[in-house]
Amino acid sequence: MHELGITQRIVEIVSEQARGRSVRRIVLEIGKLSLILPDAVRFCFDVCAHGTVAEGAILEIVEVSGRARCCGCRAELELEQPFGRCGCGGTDLEWLSGDELRIREMEVL
């Protein structure tokens, strides 16, 4: 489960940025194409935050839809998984969004 390592790193970054202040809330963006499971991050968060300035913080996760552009016909389409097929039949797709993992916001005291 690579989400444990990812969540540990998120807590490290948040702790560094908080500079000793308590973190009340963290908002993450996780793209649907990133292969990161939001529920697994939620599961790991309390364990990773224990004993840090992020302990007790509310974790909000915003899932970002996958969007791609067909390299053949240039049409844009939504993706729910990291592969797909355009209406024209093309499978050569350029990802536009959905592979994000970003700390969008944090609230500190």
Domain CATH number, residue 31: 3.30.2320.50
Residue 7 has pLDDT above 70, yes or no: yes
Q: pLDDT digits over 69-97, tens only?
A: 999 999 999 998 888 999 999 999 999 99
Phi, psi of 90 (to 5 degrees): -70, 145
Separation of alpha carbons 90 and 61, rounded Å? 32
Is there a domain that residue 59 lies in? yes
Q: pLDDT digits over 11-33, tens only?
A: 999 999 999 999 999 999 999 99
pTM for this predicted structure: 0.82
Q: pLDDT digits over 50-59, tens only?
A: 999 999 999 9
Q: Is-contact 22 60, C-beta < 8 A?
A: no
Number of domains in the chain: 1
**Which domain, by its residues, includes 33?**
3-66+98-108
Taking CA 34 as the corner, what is the angle to CA 68 and CA 91, rounded to the nearest 5 degrees?
35
Separation of alpha carbons 83 and 67, rounded Å? 11
